[in-house]
């Protein structure tokens, strides 16, 4: 008998596979392919206090080994999410994570206060958003900025709170430690890497904002290294994200210390990839006589530390 359940921040997930924020929307489109109840969890599209239409021009651009995106956090706003999308998600019999962003600390706080009164299970605080009062530098780049936003949101948040880290931070381990000190109960990493593409025929950047976010299999080795470094440093759950395309990738992240994984760009390649990964993990556990994922979580560094 195998047990794929994991516990994160006191919330039980039936398995460690979560649909990541951004590429899964709110789950409606993927429900046409498989029952969403099979998932460990669904992380909502990035939400902001007010509705956003997103960026103009090219939004998705395929590159070698991944995708560049400049969506611009298009979303219905917190009130629109609660009214239009959350009722559907609540019917799916899976853990619901709400990814929350903002341009100011006040926006984060107001959004979380609204979500406090809903049935979502976990807040995933996205600190990769640009801090408009600091000239557009993301909250998740400097430790002091991250500490400030996380600590102030933690004061009002009545839900378990996970902080999503940017790989573009000054130092990912120091950033993780700052978030833990500020009150984070879990961490998810990594968000997209900063990248760009140039249209050589029009002699200009592909994206109107020039810089975009890189995701997909090309970032996996770097994301895996960051999850490893953070997991063996902090004593709170870590969710691994970055280029996971099959069950072997997911197992690698778990062996590096992740409690669970999120699947992002892979959903565009194969709409049933999350289900395939869940089934692959189950087969691997049976073949390797692994009864619980706790047996292999952090196995590559756990024995060394002990």
Q: Which residues contact 83 (CB under 8 A, 6 or more apart)?
A: none
Region class of 143: left (phi > 0), else alpha (psi between -120 and 50), else beta: alpha
Distance, first Cα to last Cα, the chain: 28
Q: What is the DSSP pairing of strand 66-69 with strand 211-215?
A: antiparallel
HEC string for 183-196? CCCEEEECCCEEEE
78 contacts 49 by C-beta, under 8 angstroms: yes
Q: Is-catalytic flag, 157?
A: no
Q: Which residues pair with 8 in a beta bridge?
A: 11
Q: Which residues contact 94 (CB under 8 A, 6 or more apart)?
A: 14, 36, 37, 38, 39, 40, 41, 42
Tokens of 255: 């062996």
Catalytic residue among 129, 157, 179, 306: 129
Rounded CA separation 228/187 (Å): 13
Tokens of 125: 């605080």
* Active-site residue set: 129
């Amino acid at each position: 008998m195998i047990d794929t359940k994991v516990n994160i921040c006191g919330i039980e997930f039936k398995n460690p596979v979560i649909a990541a924020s951004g590429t899964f929307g709110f789950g409606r489109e993927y429900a046409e392919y498989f029952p969403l109840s099979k998932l460990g969890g669904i992380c909502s599209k990035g939400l902001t206090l007010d509705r956003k239409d997103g960026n103009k021009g090219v939004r998705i651009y395929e590159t070698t080994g991944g995708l560049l995106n400049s969506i611009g956090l298009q979303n219905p706003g917190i009130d629109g999410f609660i009214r239009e999308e959350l009722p559907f998600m609540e019917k799916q019999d899976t853990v619901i994570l709400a990814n929350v962003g903002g341009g100011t600390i006040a926006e984060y706080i107001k959004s979380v206060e609204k979500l406090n009164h809903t049935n979502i299970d976990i807040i995933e605080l996205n600190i990769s958003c640009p801090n408009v009062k600091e000239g557009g530098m993301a909250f998740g780049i400097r430790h002091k900025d991250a500490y400030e936003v996380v600590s102030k949101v933690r004061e009002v948040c009545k839900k378990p709170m996970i902080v999503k880290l940017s790989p573009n931070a000054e130092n990912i381990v120091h950033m993780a430690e700052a978030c833990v000190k500020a009150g984070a109960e879990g961490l998810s990493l990594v968000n997209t890497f900063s990248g760009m593409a140039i249209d050589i025929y029009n002699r200009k950047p592909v994206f109107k904002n020039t810089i975009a976010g890189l995701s997909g299999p090309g970032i996996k080795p770097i994301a895996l290294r960051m999850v490893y470094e953070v997991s063996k440093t902090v004593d709170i759950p870590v969710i691994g994200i970055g280029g996971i395309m099959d069950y072997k990738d997911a197992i690698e992240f778990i062996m590096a210390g992740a409690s669970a994984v999120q699947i992002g760009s892979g959903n565009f390649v194969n709409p049933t990839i999350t289900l395939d990964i869940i089934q692959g993990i189950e087969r691997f556990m049976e073949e390797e006589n692994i009864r619980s994922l706790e047996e292999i979580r952090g196995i590559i560094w756990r024995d060394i530390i002990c």
